[in-house]
Structure 1
Amino acid sequence: MGRRNDRASRSRETSKVLCRDRQFHVADRNSTRRRRISRVPTTTEVGEHSTENTMSTTTPKRGHTFSGILAFAILSAPALASAESLSSSFKEAARNVAPSVVHIMATGRADVAGLAGDRGPGVPFGNDLFKRFFDQLQPRREVWPPRPSASNGPRQSGQGTGFVVRADGYIVTNNHVVARAEQLTVRFNDGREYEASIVGTDPDTDLAVIKVDVTGLDPVEFGKSRELEVGEWVIAVGSPFGLEQTVTAGIVSATGRSGMGLATFENFIQTDAAINPGNSGGPLVNLRGEVVGVNTAITTRSGGSMGIGFAIPSRMVRAVMDGIITNGRVSRGWLGVQIQTLTAKLARSFGAPATVGVLIADVIADGPSHQAGIEAGDIVTVADGRPIEKPGDLLNAIAESAPGSTIEIEVFRDGTRRSFEVTLGTRPAPGDAIAAATPAADLGLTVERLTPGIAGELGVEPGRGVVVSTVQRGGIADASGVRRGDVVIKVGPTEVFDPDAFRATLAREDVTAGVRLLLQRGTAKHFVVLKKPE
């Protein structure tokens, strides 16, 4: 009993000590809070306080707490400085390019819309995966006669973006922004507005140059798109949904994107910078304020940004721009072949060790490749010193070479590698979008180039034939069973590979006697005869 009382007595004494300790620590924390609220102690004060209370059990806690805060502040300082430096880079880049960026307002007749208008610019036959973002405010789904005249036809308006490339009024934008416009107005960031005219367009890259009659403008500076690296910061400037001078930021997600069916020559920069309808034709800018691309298309299922946008690289933009401004058109090298993707089955059938390369499907008689000795069935692996892995690589390599220049082509043939010196010809002009949409010989149909993307949508082989873009209701083609989306492989006995060849071949035929077309619809082929009434 006495031991139990002793233990109880000791327990009470211990409790009192613990209570006093707890009260002391609580008071100390409150005291510390009051001091911190009134004033943050300096290092000297902390040191002095610690010295005076070396025997206190609470001093190390205060010292350690402040040391941790001080260490965190010291370590955070470089990160904060880095963030502020990055922010300053964004601000400076935006300021540099803002005076050069213009808002483009386009007005035209709805009836001039061709294939691009039917499917939404850049979207292969209704597939909404890829969508250019020229903001069509009154899109037309079909183009049927009777066609209204220019005076009474319905009007449609659109908007996009461009940027000044020369002080004397030259502006770069996308072809699909201006190709069908009858009137163009550009507005600068200071509110000035000018009427603009089209200098030239290049549907093969979806680029265009327009001009305003004014001097003393601030042109952009171009950067080197070939030096872009994945992960590099970029900003997009434009007028999404009409909100002019909008700046968004992101990184370069990928480079060299091709094979998407958006243009004949594709070498896109992919970015996650937010771009939306109205950004089309605007600049993609690095943090030095240099233009490295032209925003052209997005992948979307919602109509807006999903973090996947595509820009034409500045290297291609400059070449096209210079050609249009200097010569009114773009001249490109021409190899004189038809090419296709090298699949695993085809590679095995040709004895190729891998699917890297491009298969020559046909060689045009007396063309540059034919004269150099290249044959159908050859697999191109290198062109002008550049590795060739897919059709887009070869197309871009040849297009970037000047007509008349001689380049080395390496091919795989019959188990061996061979080299040929090819003197390039001049690539036949594709014809602009408006000319390509002119009804052929009043037969009631129009055709456009069969791109790889459209070919994939239709389930046909790319590079062979032209696709029917519109069919006039009640016209000759309609009465003969031609449908939009049919692929014209032959006109009479002659194979056609592009709209120019189609129109040239058709012009040689007697359409009053009847002209025979070989069409492909899906996997089925059939003939039709188009006969113009006498």
Structure 2
Amino acid sequence: MNKNVITVLLSIGLSMLAAYGVTKSTENNDSPSQTSGESGVTKTINLSESEYPDLTYAAESAVPAVVYVGVTVTQQYQLDDPFYRFFFGNTPQQREQQGSGSGVIIRSDGYIVTNNHVVANATKVEVTLNDNKKYEAKVIGTDPATDIALIKIDAEGLPTIAFGNSDDLRIGEWVLAVGSPLGYQLRSTVTAGIVSAKGRSMNFGQSENPYQRQRQSNQLHIESFIQTDAAVNPGNSGGALVNKSGELVGINTAIVSQDGAFSGYSFAVPVNIVKKIVGDLIDFGSVKRAVLGISMSDLSPNLAKALEYDSVEDMMKKMKLSSLDGVYIAEVSEGGAAEKAGVRKGDILLSIDGFKVTNGASVQEKVNSYHPEDKAVIKVLRDGKEKEFTVEFQESASENGVKVAKGEVAFYGAALREAPKDVLARYGLSHGVEVTSLGTGRMQEAGASEGLVILYVNDQPVKTPQDVVNVAKNAKRSVYIEGVTTDGRKAFFGFGKE
């Protein structure tokens, strides 16, 4: 009898110890748990304490590096008043308009990224830091196609935000929007939300906001927005979208609203696009935009109707599609990167360097991360079979308002080509790089002219456009150019990279 009692007590004791051990291990376990739904698909759910949405660290990390951007735009106008014109003539009058937005410090020496529509046509840009210090800013470069602009203030040791990876963002992930909504008085405002969608375009009709107005006036627009439900209002444009770690994952750009105020959703340019744009503006003075050379359509009921299928299901069956992820290649540019690689009209583009293509916006986002002459492996579906091709991207036909022909390179608003033999012979030269055309940019401002043959950049002889680009890229602060003008005279000029 005593032996049985002892056995029972030992069993109870061991059971209690086991239960305690399980409880403690569960409390301390930071590893993800897994659940299986009715479909049999296993989903990972991370229930560790670190995954709860405490956003204080992210906010405290981001706020010091987000600035208020005040803008002055001077406009000319003509008074429609006969009495005034009789006494004062037809002299145009000027008036100043004030605007504002936000910006993000990306380098401690004063480089700040914002939206192009914030600083477009500005005659004066003033930046106010989180500590209330004010600086006049210079516009380094703009890219209307992505609505990104780079400005700079003369300061050192500034707080910055580390770049994250926007490709890693997940639907439902917590994010913060930091900026100055509705003006100066609401500087350093932080709002929270989740990632509602990725790869969004802005084909929403006439929603009234500055980005949409700019979009309608600019032929090229590259859009693959991060959509969030973090509250964003006028003045937030150019501000930071950050993840829980306080890393920059996007630049807040637009809202969709009927009245111009926040009504549920906001849109940000992914930081992976931003990094490439600002890097090009710092290194080259213009954006080196890669081109794949295709026209494309999303896989959708509208496409099925256009291709005369009975339904989208009929299209999927006959094209042997397992899903509607991917894009239909409607046209392939003659002599373009895709055609040279072997891509055909009617192929379904599935991925680029392993990056899964879901729609046209995602293709734009990925292609925009490359430079001309970069290579990538693309996967397409053709006749129900997957095929891979290696493409070498080409350069866009237009950069910063200057046309760039085949074999030419954009450089600070100018188009450059290797000087032809007859041009070199005309001036008795053995080498040189010719300026074929000029648009707005540093070269024009410094005094360059069309037809100029560049001989030296920072005292280094140049033979090809890429030589010019490489020397300038390696220059720390300034670029000095020596060349010969069309009338045979020597030309010397320079400009700062900042």
Scaled by the length of structure 1, the TM-score of the pair is: 0.54
| Aligned residues: CA RMSD | 3.3
Show CA shifts across 1:394-431 (max 9, x none).
Answer: 22222222321232333344555443322211223353
Alignment of 1:93-108 (within 5 A): 93-108=58-73
Partner of 2:248: 291
The equivalent of 2:230 in structure 1 is 273
Report if the CA contact (8 A) 1:223-1:292 is conserved: yes
**Aligned in 2, Cα 1:409/1:83: closer, same or farther, shift over 3 Å?**
closer
Q: Is the 8 A contact 1:162 1:173 kept in 2?
A: yes
1:176: which partner in 2? 117
Report if the CA contact (8 A) 2:272-2:369 is conserved. no
**What CA distance in whole angstroms lies between the structure 2 residues aligned with 1:346 and 1:322?**
40
Check 1:212–1:305 CA distance in 2 against 1; reply closer, same or farther (3 A cut).
Answer: same
- TM-superposed deviation, 1:98: 2.2
What does the per-residue CA deviation read over 1:182-219, in whole Å, with 9 as the maximum and x for residues that have no partner? 11111112221111111111112111110011112111
1:366 to 332, 335, 347: 335
Is 2:398 aligned against 1:429?
yes
Alpha-carbon separation, structure 2, partners of 1:84 and 1:411: 40
> Could you state the TM-score of these two structures normalised by the residue count of structure 2?
0.58
CA shift for structure 1 position 356:
4.0
Q: Identity across aligned pairs (percent)?
A: 41
**In 2, Cα distance between the equivalents of 1:377 and 1:84?**
47
Distance 2:50 2:338 in 1: 56
Is 1:166 the equivalent of 2:104?
no
Size of the alignment, in residue pairs?
Answer: 319
Unaligned runs of 5+ in 2: 1-47, 78-88, 205-211, 216-220, 310-314, 404-438, 441-498
Change (3 A) 1:267 1:110: same
Q: For residues 93 and 421 of structure 1, do their structure 2 counterparts lie closer, same or farther at Cα, with a shift above 3 Å needed?
A: closer
- In the alignment, which residue of structure 1 is the partner of 2:279? 322
The superposition leaves residues 468-511 of structure 1 with CA deviations (integer Å, 9 ceiling, x where unpaired) of: xxxxxxxxxxxxxxxxxxxxxxxxxxxxxxx99xxxxxxxxxxx
Where in structure 2 are the equivalents of 1:26-425 lying within 5 Å? 89-110=54-75, 152-242=93-183, 243-258=186-201, 260=203, 264-342=221-299, 343-346=303-306, 351-354=318-321, 355-414=324-383, 416-425=385-394
Q: 1:272 to 1:330 in 2, by over 3 A?
A: same
Gaps of 5+ in 1: 1-81, 113-147, 437-498, 501-534
Q: Deviations over 1:236-290 (max 9, x none)?
A: 1111111211111222222232363766322222211111010000001223222
What amino acid does structure 2 have at the position aligned with 1:244? R
The structure whose residues are more often strand, as a share, is 2
Q: Helix, strand or coil for the counterpart of 2:379? A: strand
Q: CA 1:230–1:391 in 2, change beyond 3 Å: closer, same or farther? A: closer
Residue 292 of structure 1: SS of its match in structure 2? strand
Secondary structure of 2:245's counterpart equals coil
Quick check: which one's helix share is greater? 1
CA distance 1:165–1:225, shift in 2 (3 Å) = same
Distance 1:285 1:409 in 2: 31
Q: Counterpart of 2:179 in structure 1: which amino acid? A: G
Deviation at 1:155, TM superposition (A): 2.5
Aligned equivalents of 1:352, 1:279: Cα separation in 2: 44
Tell me, what secondary structure is at the counterpart of 2:55?
Answer: helix
Residue 305 of structure 2 aligns to which amino acid in structure 1? K
Give SS of 2:73's match: strand
Q: Which amino acid aligns with 1:173?
A: T
Distance 1:348 1:401, change over 3 A: farther
User: Of the two, which has the highest radius of gyration?
Assistant: 1
